[in-house]
């Protein structure tokens, strides 16, 4: 019994120290989350209205002189996958990768991973990687977004791939984050499928000076903006996921400690009772 009690005591200690770590991680994530959430909420309207407008433009566009607007013959897909730098964030990374696997079925793909976990994942699976330069999602600045966008535009124009797709985790609320994807290049991919099939008159759009110049000027900035806002949203999602996961871990640890202490106290009492019984029995003889 004594040996058992010692083991229980050790176990309580180890659970306690784990709890300290998960608690600390929870607090860190919670405090970082506040700022990240603000940033994400600021950039969300930009991303949403911009994509909405481009869908309108794609639906109404019938001028395909710019390489960015015409439907591509090239069947190679580039996926920009924004994941986290670290694990221990519940299902944040694995949900995104699972979602992405279901998206890419049967496609010839290349990826541009953003975030260390994303780089590791695709390296492990031997998926061709465009560049590993942007491995740390936490360190990406607005000017990095512009260089990523330039890289995307240049390699798109060179014909290295025909479609660009973006995968990130949308921040719905503190409790729910959902992996999402969106087509970002060419603009014609954004058009709604049903709009293509019916032949109703499309609204005319005036481009000034002309559509080619407009798209060539606007697309790099649009990509940089989309990347920047989806990165901010992903970062907020990661922190929220980590906070929730660590909160659950802390709660579990507390419960375990409670059960173990109960067990320990029972064992202690049993051993005392036994000792008394033994002494009493000895005195009676």
209 or 282, CB closer to other proteins? 209
CB 96 within 8 A of CB 83: yes
- Compute CA distances 84 → 10, 61, 122, 132, 225, whole Å: 34, 36, 13, 14, 19
Residue 158 CB, nearest approach to other proteins (Å): 20
What residues does 68 pair with on adjacent strands? none
Residue 67 CB, nearest approach to other proteins (Å): 16
What residues does 113 pair with on adjacent strands? 81
The span of 36-44, 172-180, 250-258, 259-267 binding other proteins (CB under 8 A) equals 36-44
134 or 215, CB closer to other proteins? 215
The binder of other proteins chosen from 3, 175, 204, 281 (CB under 8 A): 204
The binder of other proteins chosen from 108, 192, 221, 278 (CB under 8 A): 221
**For 61-141, where are the alpha helices, taking DSSP H only?**
92-104, 116-124
**222 lines the binding site for other proteins (CB under 8 A):** yes
- Compute CA distances 96 → 15, 19, 81, 100, 282, whole Å: 30, 27, 9, 6, 69
The binder of other proteins chosen from 22, 26, 43, 244 (CB under 8 A): 43
Residue 69 CB, nearest approach to other proteins (Å): 11
CA separation for the pair 74, 42 (Å, rounded) = 36
Would you give the DSSP letter of residue 64?
-
What residues does 112 pair with on adjacent strands? 80
Site for other proteins in 106-165 (CB under 8 A): 142
55 or 267, CB closer to other proteins? 55
- Interacting residue ranges for other proteins, rule: CB under 8 A: 41-43, 45-46, 49-50, 53, 56-57, 60, 142, 203-209, 211, 213-214, 217-218, 221-222, 224-225, 228-229
């Amino acid at each position: 019994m004594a040996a058992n009690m010692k083991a229980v005591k050790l176990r309580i200690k180890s659970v306690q120290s784990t709890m300290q770590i998960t608690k600390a991680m929870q607090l860190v994530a919670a405090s970082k989350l506040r700022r990240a959430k603000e940033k994400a909420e600021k950039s969300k309207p930009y991303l949403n209205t911009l994509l909405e407008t481009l869908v309108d433009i794609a639906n109404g566009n019938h001028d395909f002189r710019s390489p960015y607007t015409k439907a591509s013959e090239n069947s190679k897909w580039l996926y920009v996958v924004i994941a986290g730098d670290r694990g221990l964030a519940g299902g944040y990374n694995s949900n995104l990768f699972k979602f992405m696997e279901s998206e890419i079925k049967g496609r010839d793909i290349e990826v541009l991973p953003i975030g260390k976990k994303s780089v590791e994942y695709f390296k492990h699976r031997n998926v061709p990687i465009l560049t590993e330069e942007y491995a740390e999602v936490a360190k990406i600045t607005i000017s990095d977004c512009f260089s990523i966008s330039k890289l995307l535009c240049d390699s798109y124009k060179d014909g290295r791939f025909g479609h660009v797709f973006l995968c990130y985790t949308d921040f719905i609320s503190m409790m729910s984050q959902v992996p999402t994807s969106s087509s970002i290049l060419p603009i014609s991919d954004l058009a709604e499928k049903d709009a293509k099939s019916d032949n109703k008159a499309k609204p005319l759009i005036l481009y000034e000076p002309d559509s080619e110049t407009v798209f060539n000027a606007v697309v790099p900035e649009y990509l940089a903006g989309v990347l920047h806002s989806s990165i901010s949203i992903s970062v907020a999602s990661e922190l929220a996921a980590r906070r929730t996961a660590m909160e659950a871990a802390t709660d579990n640890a507390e419960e375990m400690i409670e059960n173990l202490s109960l067990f320990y106290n029972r064992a202690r009492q049993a051993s005392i009772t036994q000792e008394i019984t033994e002494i009493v029995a000895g005195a009676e003889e």
